[in-house]
Amino acid sequence: MTWELEGATILEVVPPTLSSGDEGLQKRLRRVERLLASNAFDAINIPEIHDEDSRDSRGVRTRGFSSRLDGRILARHIRQQFQLPVIINHVVAHAPLERQLDWLNETVGEYGIRDIVLVGAPHDRFAWPGPSVSEANQAFKSHIGSSGVRIGNICIPERSGSPISETERMAAKVSAGADFFTTQIVFSPDEIIQLWNSMSKDQPELLSTPLLISLCPVKKASNLAFLRYLGVQVPDSVETVLSEAPHGDGLDRSLEILCSLQDDLIQHTSGIPNLAIPGWNIAPVGSIPSSAVLDLMERLPSSVST
């Protein structure tokens, strides 16, 4: 299954909990089927979920952590049932490189997955047993050779307090083998515009690397605490808009924010030479109704469905 990363629209689907068993898997597949009826998505993006500490002092997890089904099993069902490409995310920090290469062999050879996003450690408060993302990029690319497997990494447009710019980090990862990036969830166009401006000034070669920008609809202001827990930068203005929305209107307000964000970014792209057409990772978190995701896809000016 070949598809173009540049300008793509993908759907993020979290694996069901292990405790939900086959019923949870089938429920997740039925949701995917409803969403794919719009023909708006080029691929499915499956994150790898681990228990971790909050990355923000204002972040709160409202529910306890539950172990999840191996995303590759969900990916296999999606590929077989819907004939759609799948991106699998994998955290490389949790095990030594040798085990990471075993995982790669299984992922490509047994599951047939050819798009992989490698994710780094959630924090640097202690030494992790696994390689850095750049080390994993290089090792994975060397191991798979010219097999057509594409390696992606995560872009965090705004890293608070980091002495190294995100463009420097991205350039190092591309040099080590990264083919594309997906961003952390964003709620402000300024984060991406500043990133593009930094690329244009300091690393213009990065402009041609496909970037999939993650957009997340939310139901109400209280949902933002969990996103902060994951490290997402949430502008106070977004929280204010959702907090002041009449009861039941928060989701609609969040869709308006995301549509405005995407429209601003699309308008900005015209002034950046050699910029790859941005793609979009639609990443609903929590119990977002399928109807709301489909509504978002109809509203987005650059969705595949328009």
**Domains in the chain, ordered, with CATH?**
9-299 (3.20.20.220)
Confidence grade of residue 78 (pLDDT, cut at 50, 70, 90): very high
User: In this predicted structure, what is the pLDDT of residue 304?
Assistant: 47
Listed in sequence order, the residues at least 6 apart from 110 whose beta carbon sits closer than 8 Å to its beta carbon are: none
User: CB count, 10 Å around CB of 15?
Assistant: 22
Strands (E) across the chain are located at: 9-12, 43-46, 86-91, 115-119, 150-155, 180-185, 211-215, 279-282
Residues 152 and 118 sit within 8 Å (Cβ to Cβ): yes
Residue 260 · residue 299 · CB < 8 Å = no
pLDDT single digits (tens) 115-159: 999 999 888 888 899 999 999 999 999 999 888 999 999 999 988
